[in-house]
Each structure stands twice: as C-alpha cells, then as structure tokens.
C-alpha cells in the first residue's frame, strides 16, 4: 500500500481481521454527513423563517408551503450548500501536511 493514499483508520480496518471494515466505516461517515446536511438545511431554514416573522430578515423568507414548510429558506440553504460543493471541487487543496 502506498503511503498517503488511504486514511489510517481505513488502512487498519482492511487487514485480514476486517476485510469489509473500511466500507462499513465509509458508510457510517457518509450517513453522518448526510444527516448533518439535512439538519443544517432545515434548522437554518427555521431560524431564517423565525427571523423573518420578527422583521429581522426579508419577508420572502416567511413564505411557507401548504404543508407548513418554509420553502424559500430551504431553497436558499440548498443553494448555499451547492455553492460549497462547487467551490470544494473547483478550488484545489493547498495544505500539504
């Protein structure tokens, strides 16, 4: 195995004792990341909705769907997330540690 091509934890889990351990760990990490993204989108959306109701954010953030979802804030947070993903793909990593 080349040095620096695999995370240390994944490399430790790939040895004969746990041949699928790295895949399990990756699934756990991806599930955790998706859960955090979901929480951020809807949590921040509700905060913006509340600020809009109090007059501290634009009134457009106070719009809700017929199901009671503040859709404008969810769209905004999804857009911000998408910008972050694009920037992560476009801007190369500069850290060499």
Quick check: 73 and 61 in contact, CB under 8 A? yes
> Quick one: 42 exposed, middle or buried, by C-beta within 10 A (0-12, 13-18, 19+)?
middle
Please tell me the number of Cα atoms within 13 Å of 59 on its side-chain side. Answer: 0
CA geometry: angle 74, 76, 31, nearest 5 deg = 55
Mind listing the pLDDT tens digit of every residue in the chain (97 residues)?
455 566 666 555 555 566 677 788 889 999 999 999 899 888 988 899 999 999 999 999 998 899 988 889 989 998 998 998 899 889 877 655 5
Residue owning tokens 């913006």: 48
pTM of the model: 0.63
């Amino acid at each position: 195995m080349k040095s620096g091509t695999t995370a240390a934890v994944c490399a430790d889990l790939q040895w004969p004792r746990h041949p699928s351990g790295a895949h399990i760990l990756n699934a756990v990490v991806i599930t955790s990341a998706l859960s955090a993204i979901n929480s951020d989108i809807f949590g921040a959306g509700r905060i913006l909705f509340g600020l809009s109701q109090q007059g501290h954010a634009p009134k457009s953030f106070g719009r809700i769907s017929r199901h009671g979802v503040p859709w404008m804030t969810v769209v905004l947070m999804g857009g911000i997330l998408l910008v972050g993903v694009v920037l992560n793909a476009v801007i190369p990593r500069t850290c060499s540690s």
